[in-house]
A and B are shown apart, each in its own frame.
Chain A
Amino acid sequence: SQTIHQWPATLVQPVGSPLSLECTVEGTSNPNLYWYRQAAGRGLQLLFYSVGIGQISSEVPQNLSASRPQDRQFILSSKKLLLSDSGFYLCAYLRTVNTEAFFGQGTRLTVV
């Protein structure tokens, strides 16, 4: 069976510090991978998606970057966090065109 792991679950970071959120998928190969951000009271905003190793597409200009060093690993990073980076971050994967996206349990990031 396929599973998706996302960590950490919660994170409190000072402004200006670096960030690394990790997402891994098990039980499938060559998935489409996604990073979403959910700000308080708002919907899910697509940040990045990846169709393969080293292939990253950015949806919105921002202080964040993403990388896919392995087929089933997707990393969200920042060199210097801003207060506005606070939010709930969700990783998701799509196995095949005929299925829905499956989501990780999310990371609540608070930048202080």
Chain B
Amino acid sequence: AQTVTQSQPEMSVQEAETVTLSCTYDTSESDYYLFWYKQPPSRQMILVIRQEAYKQQNATENRFSVNFQKAAKSFSLKISDSQLGDAAMYFCAYRVDTSGTYKYIFGTGTRLKVLA
């Protein structure tokens, strides 16, 4: 069964500093998608970044980047120049294709606190 593990329930970072959130997953598939979602206090789920497993190049979106290690099944999120607005729950997600149906499996989340 596919699983997603986020081993850091909570992380803190000083404003303007860099923080890395960890995520590992388990799958026997060779082609899949990985995502990081942000859930601010409003609880609206917002996509931060996504990675296609067949692409070796790590995805980047402005201050957000990932370190995708396919062999190790690791997908960490790096936030550079942290801002107060980055404070939120961050969920790592894996999308599996089951007979043409796409299911998202989420980790338990990491709560990020940004200290002024």
Contact = CB atoms under 8 A, between A and B. Distances in A.
Interface size of B as a range: 20 to 34
A51 B97 CA distance: 12
Contacts of B101: 32, 49, 51, 57
Given A88-B43, A100-B50, A105-B43, A43 B107 contact: yes
B45 A46 contact: no
Interface in B43-73: 43-45, 47, 50
Given A44-B91, A100-B35, A32 B106 contact: no
Interface of A: 32, 34, 36, 42-46, 49, 51, 57, 59, 88, 90, 92, 94, 97, 100-101, 103, 105-106
Interface of B: 6, 33, 35, 42-45, 47, 50, 91, 95, 97, 100-109
A36 to B, nearest CB: 8
A interface: dominant SS: strand
Contact of A49 (B44, B91, B103, B106): B103
